[in-house]
Amino acid sequence: MSRLNEANVELAQEIIARYPRRKSALIPLLHVAQEQNGYVTTAAMEHLAELVGITPAEVLGTASFYEMFKFEPQGKYMVNICTNISCQLLGGEELLHHAEKTLGIRPGGTTDDGLFTLEDVECMAACTEAPCLQVNYRHEYRLDHDDFDTLISELRSGSRPDIPDHGTLGLVRQHIPDGRMAGIDSPEKTGSPEWFTARSSN
């Protein structure tokens, strides 16, 4: 597939300008590439290498370290099920097996209709909400088999507008306020997550 398109080259240059060293921008640039094509193509990695002044092998070495970057076409909905210790003890592995049976695919596979890609992943840092999964990086908590079936039905029917198309994580990470170097905001500035606030008020 393609290198970065013209609009994304412009975005890439804006992102690179925020960093003291060009190659420090590689992670957000990989998100840009994945946002464009749905996965990180070989051509895009070669293009990123040119933009930040490193080799394509270094780009691949960085991208392949992270589970969030994909190197082949993915389904519209990426279903990541945690089977680490807390989730495993509370039914995560059984949930994964149920998902395999329901979707007819193994971890790493994509359904024939291109809607779902299933992954078995490590801890999602939501151990108190086990078993949990993510769909396109949006958490779903304390699921049983019926909850999973309902979720899949809702996704098939398009009745979950709160769950974005794959790649939205890249857009979230690219937002940098004017006049600031790239960085993170403290929890005091961003406020509590909506799910946490709602739960705390009950």
> For the domain 77-157, what is the CATH superfamily, name and number?
Glutaredoxin (3.40.30.10)
Give the least confident one: 57-61, 84-88, 198-202. Answer: 198-202
Rounded distance between C-alpha atoms, residue 142 and residue 162, angstroms: 18
Q: Could you give the percent of the chain with pLDDT greater than 90? A: 60
Q: CATH 1.10.10.1590 occupies which residues in the chain?
A: 6-71
Q: In sequence order, what are the residues at sequence separation of 6 or more whose Cβ sits closer than 8 angstroms to the Cβ of residue 12?
A: 4, 25, 29, 32, 48, 51
Q: CATH 3.40.30.10 occupies which residues in the chain?
A: 77-157
Over 70: is that where the pLDDT of 28 sits? yes
Q: Could you give the percent of the chain with pLDDT greater than 70? A: 81
Task: Tell me how long the chain is.
Answer: 202
Rounded distance between C-alpha atoms, residue 39 and residue 146, angstroms: 31
pLDDT in tens, 36-80: 888 899 999 999 999 999 999 999 999 999 878 889 888 889 999
Rounded distance between C-alpha atoms, residue 157 and residue 147, angstroms: 15
pLDDT of residue 176: 54
pLDDT in tens, 130-156: 999 999 888 999 999 999 999 999 999
Rounded distance between C-alpha atoms, residue 134 and residue 80, angstroms: 5
pLDDT in tens, 172-183: 555 555 555 555
Kind and range of the H or E run holding 114: none
Residue 37 burial by CB count (10 A; 0-12/13-18/19+): exposed, middle or buried?
A: buried
More confident residue, 202 or 117: 117
pTM greater than 0.75 (yes/no): no
Burial 112-148 (b: 16+ CB within 10 A, else e): eeeebbbbbbeebebeebbbbbbbbbebbeebeeeeb
Q: What mean pLDDT value characterizes the chain?
A: 85
CATH 1.10.10.1590 for domain 6-71: yes
pLDDT of residue 168: 54
